[in-house]
Chains A and B, each alone.
Chain A
């Protein structure tokens, strides 16, 4: 049986890999019979013979290798017939030679600077070879992104960039449009934003407010989802001072540069079509496990009795309206199901001698696994370049997208709704809005509102956001004299969202306090306009072995954010919805506006000698309208050095192709605080009125001493390339943020608000390793591995007055990490009475929970995190998969602290499955979960009980693709055709996972993960 199975696989493999080739073989045979040989010698550029060069005739199986002296001899088609000879050698550029009559062919192969030649996109439109890089910049090109979901452009970078982490901001269900937080080399700020800035084609992108929330909308839909990831050519992440200082006040958290695709000159019309069809399903193994109806009833009754209540007063006694004893609803299934993704994109590119252009249009539709939650994106992107006159070029880029987000913001009810409730009335289809339950206070059975049933909310309520994002960038680039250029960019980004929320009369939200049908609606608008202009003069010159370049200029930008909301209620029916027809407009309607400007002077120079010694420096002055006159301007500067040892005459190694050392130091800033606090403010408000006339009060107290947060960054790196096989880059950094801004409480006799103050210093240090290894590099088969790993350590060096600040479960404390957990230590369950126990500060067991026993220990920072990507190529097949990993670090799991509640208020919501299996029931029993009780034993209060090791391995992407050989496509006039099958979020592994209990695996995400399989088609005409 086994043998047959193997045989089957072999047959399939043979068919898959060799069918197209054997196909060719037939007519090749004929050719060979009447053929001669082609002979020759393969050498390097310097004339040394190359042994082992792989030589083959394109699209055939005819192949040979050169001998020790570089000689080769290959069977070739008859003279007069045209064919292509391919010469391939590791570390050399592959050469293709079209042969017709030649019988002797000596070939000199050029060294392949495959790695060095990678061009890194830098600030303000600069490009440099990776070999010349002084600072730390990591670039991800479109090829690495093609197998990612087309939803948004941030989380697709997860695991690809060393030292960068992208994670959801909540580990519980709060919004179906998860907000992500992005951190580059840890968090450089306590209270100001720690988010990097995104710059798309030179224009800062709008990613929401300081924590990426979109002000003015009830639910945040990230503007990063308004961009088609397929339009991206490359994403460069700038990390050290050398690279980020040029962004001054916004550089301290790192900079992400996104470059979209461009057309090329002298290129015939090229049309690319992409179609992806995806099906997704919830990965239930990552969903938090709660009790079923029987388990729930058993625990609930026990908890009720243990609390000393009489069972005759138990709320869930069967009655004419609810039969609790026989109902068993698996609520997740009521909300979750299959989802789908559709992506279709078309790109046209062409170029003449003086004009190049590209236009793309795409449509993307996603139906979430949370049923009723959908999004659509229509996007258009175009870029044109015109040569106005010799060496003067104008590039115009216009893009727009229209996004419809039909939200069903399912909360935690999908887990916690009691399984003994049914979503429908006994008729099986009418939505249940009430449950009839017993209550002592109500003297018997009464109808209780069933708010947890969100199915009518999904069916009848509206929650739709329609957003338009437009971007326009005009760049004028002119080389006035040789090497001397001016470049002027004007860019604009406008995002507008309109929100329609309607609470239907068929849901509890649409009823008034007397349960009368009312209906209520909200309409909100939020817009964001940012324009930026920079004018740069640059010079590049080469004098013998000296290379000198510099640029300098100004940048100004302005942003306006406006939002308004109007709400009202009282409609005659559910179809009207618009507030024009509402009976009452709420007094809570509002509008507000925010305006911010910045102006900067910037400059960078770099000098290199003989591609060996490099020095570069940056200087930037930033002014920001948010800061008071006292500290409106701030300077930022950096200097960097690097040394290409492998270019030294004394360096002679066959093994080491490249050896580079680099170091940079500089000062960056952070202006992302949202207040103009220096002069203090007065605020008018109706709510300060007296006898009906408006009043005004101090809004913020004057705080003239406030200064910018500054981060001093050191970065040192070494890059080694061994024989074109393995490329290793190791970087270490030490960043200190001083004048940390945070809101602190000052004497209440000054203000009862906390005020921004420069309160301390914090350090981030770490190492990052990235390895690209060309494990196997044969023409028929290749295997490449890219691995990155990062370790970061954060520590608060000092705080205002040495004062620690506790935030309930975390603390800021000198000498500790920023978010060190500050929790009472859990000591388990007392076997004698099943009561919870904790440790006090002295390590003694206590049965009284007290916050004074909190201890600062454990942090959320992992020991190491990163990703590994493997690419296999065999013939026309490609297989690649990516595993992201996180080792170490702790999480205070929200679901554990919410649902390990040991029967407390169990009549109000379902709890974890462990409460059933692991609970204490009899004296002497050693249990991990306390005795259940409807009244609290305090066991659910925050303690180390809810800390979980966040180690995981995540198979995020696997894709298999087949590229059709061009020979087959020529006939139908297709240049390229690739079919792929990709899977996303395939498997999430945690060391503590168990199939029948909860673990970090079931608590890492608010919803079960979305596992998607996508069939993709890429056609190139």
Chain B
């Protein structure tokens, strides 16, 4: 071994040592494949569309699996099958407690907030993409607008489930839900706000959304300015702020027509058909199909109640959704709003889209608002528009029998029940109007009537939330 060779070796060794030390800085930066940290994820504009898709995906299952079934089961328009009602029996009997963690009570709470949290990420990160993507400002603005809409919608809907209706106390100071208007931190205290503040949050989010949307074109399957206005009308109706409700409903009606009579059933039963009056629908392609299963015409878990079906005249186009004949068999007392009756090439094409807002609801909101404001004839005219579409009669041929505003209001409510049935309104219309819940004799529930007010009109906060969060207040049983 000569000296030069030895020196050479020492050099190599020294280099190896130094190299391994200096490699330290970047050595620990490992790219996680399939998932990325949030900041990295939102570093590119391409993040936004998938992020919104994820949110819409969650929304569909939120409304399909828990929200609409709950609002209907707890309402008075459906009969729950005694044998296959499963966990829904408790909801029909107003017998749930905070223990119902693994059914709608628990899932709506966590599912709703999951949607809100994902929306918060978009609201926080998307504007930061403007710096590097000056040409994409409109895209970014519209995504942010949509995220604001989602946040407003979920706050409003969760507040209706876990908090009493807005006018339960005169100043709406009773408990609503926890407002989540930013990216959460694990250390912060999270408590429930008043219903007043929750509604204000939704309204301000919708205003932010309207301010953000920029050249947003109509798309029935995504939130748009039109959807924001429709939701504002609805929120104001729930608050009893009839001027604002009328204003926003009118703005929407001015922009969108009703679906034609001949297309009425098609807008439910043909997933490819959007419907003229669609303001915002959540698309159900490759999603869960709980509502279809629950209203399955062959083995229904839910069927329309007799008293409900009795509201319809024979010629009412809407009643065509309550019976079905297929393969030579008749299925009476069914409900087809979530059933694709079209012949489809593949079973994945057999889906349904859920209405979040449609123009018919705007007519009903406006009618109720106008009636309340004393503009009874204008209110009557709105109702006649809907009846005309349903029956095929000219509005002039329709005569409504009412003497007072109260009479008219009852007619509007009847029309509302017929038009918006099984779309997630039933229970909340009852509580909003401070009515008693009355079920007909065909109900399988142990609760035939529930007088307003009652603690059971709202769900308890799931116990896992109570356990994990000391600041959370429970609803009384």
Contacts and interface: CB of A to CB of B under 8 A. Distances in A.
Interface in B144-197: 178, 180, 183-184, 186-187, 190
Majority secondary structure of chain B interface residues (helix, strand, loop or mixed): helix
B100 interface: no
Contacts of A389: 1, 6
Contacts of B54: 688, 690, 695-697
A694 B50 CA distance: 6
Given A695-B57, A749-B190, A750-B117, A684 B467 contact: no
A683 B34 contact: yes
Interface stretch (B16-24, B237-245, B335-343): B16-24
Nearest to A684: B50
Interface in B16-75: 16-17, 20-21, 23-24, 27-39, 41-42, 47, 49-58, 60
Contacts of A757: 186
B15 to A, nearest CB: 11
B34 A593 contact: yes
B467 A556 contact: no
Interface of A: 388-390, 486, 488, 533, 535, 554, 556, 592-593, 595-599, 623-625, 632, 676, 679-684, 687-699, 701-703, 705, 744-752, 755, 757, 801, 803
B39 A632 contact: no
B137 to A, nearest CB: 22
Interface stretch (B309-317, B319-327, B385-393, B468-476): B468-476
Contact of A749 (B47, B51, B113, B221): B113
A74 B354 CA distance: 108
A59 B60 CA distance: 90
Contact of A748 (B52, B118, B283, B462): B462
B110 interface: yes
B13 interface: yes
Given A681-B38, A694-B50, A596 B180 contact: no
10 contacts: A599-B24, A682-B47, A687-B57, A695-B55, A696-B54, A748-B113, A748-B462, A749-B184, A750-B186, A757-B186
Nearest to B282: A690
B27 A750 contact: no
Contacts of B29: 625
A695 B49 CA distance: 7
Nearest to A389: B1
Contact of B184 (A390, A690, A750): A750
Contacts of B113: 748-750, 752
B6 A625 contact: no
A705 B187 contact: yes
B457 interface: no
A436 B28 CA distance: 62
A697 B118 contact: yes
Nearest to B14: A486
B20 A598 contact: no
Contact of B283 (A624, A691, A696): A691
Contact of B33 (A593, A679, A690): A593
Given A488-B16, A703-B186, A689 B286 contact: yes
A625 B34 contact: no
B109 interface: yes
A746 B186 contact: yes
Majority secondary structure of chain A interface residues (helix, strand, loop or mixed): strand
Contacts of A750: 113, 117, 184, 186, 190
A684 B23 CA distance: 31
Contacts of A592: 33-34
A679 B37 contact: yes
B95 interface: no
Contacts of B55: 695, 697
Given A748-B465, A750-B190, 18 more contacts: A554-B17, A556-B20, A592-B33, A595-B30, A676-B37, A682-B38, A682-B42, A684-B35, A691-B283, A692-B286, A694-B50, A695-B55, A697-B51, A697-B57, A705-B187, A745-B464, A748-B110, A752-B110
Contact of B57 (A684, A690, A698, A749): A690
B470 A696 contact: no
Contacts of B1: 388-390
Interface string B108-119: 011101101110
A691 B27 contact: no
B120 to A, nearest CB: 9
Contacts of A687: 57
Contact of A747 (B28, B41, B283, B465): B465
B468 A745 contact: yes
Contacts of A680: 37-38
B285 interface: yes
Contact of B51 (A597, A692, A696, A744): A696
B290 interface: no
Contacts of B24: 556, 599, 623
For chain B, the bracket of interface size reads: 35 or more
B57 to A, nearest CB: 5
Given A683-B34, A693-B49, A556 B23 contact: yes
Contacts of A803: 467
Nearest to A693: B53
Nearest to B37: A679
Contact of A690 (B6, B34, B283): B283
A539 to B, nearest CB: 16
A701 B184 contact: yes
Contact of B53 (A554, A625, A694, A744): A694
B121 interface: yes
A596 B27 CA distance: 10
Contact of B30 (A596, A692, A701): A596
Interface string B432-475: 00000000000000000000000000000010110111101000
B468 A691 contact: no
A950 to B, nearest CB: 32
Contacts of A747: 178, 190, 465, 468-469, 472
Interface in B76-124: 109-111, 113-114, 116-118, 121
Contacts of B180: 749
A474 to B, nearest CB: 12
B20 A554 contact: yes
Contacts of A684: 34-35, 50
B20 A689 contact: no
A625 B30 contact: yes
A745 B180 CA distance: 18
Given A748-B465, A749-B184, A749-B190, A682 B36 contact: yes
Residue in A390, A593, A690, A752 whose Cβ sees the most chain B Cβ within 10 Å = A690
A680 B41 CA distance: 10
A174 B50 CA distance: 41
A803 B52 CA distance: 37
B17 A535 contact: yes
A705 to B, nearest CB: 7
Residue in A554, A697, A749 whose Cβ sees the most chain B Cβ within 10 Å = A749
Nearest to B2: A389
8 smallest beta-carbon distances between A and B, as pairs: A695-B53, A695-B54, A752-B110, A389-B1, A690-B53, A679-B37, A682-B41, A697-B54
A746 B35 CA distance: 22
Contacts of B121: 682, 698
B30 A597 contact: yes
Nearest to A688: B54
Nearest to B33: A593
Contact of B109 (A535, A692, A697, A748): A748
Contacts of A486: 13
B118 A698 contact: yes
Contacts of B469: 746-747, 749
B13 A488 contact: yes
A745 B28 contact: no
A757 B49 CA distance: 32
A702 B47 contact: no
B39 A598 contact: no
Contacts of A701: 117, 184, 186
B27 A695 contact: no
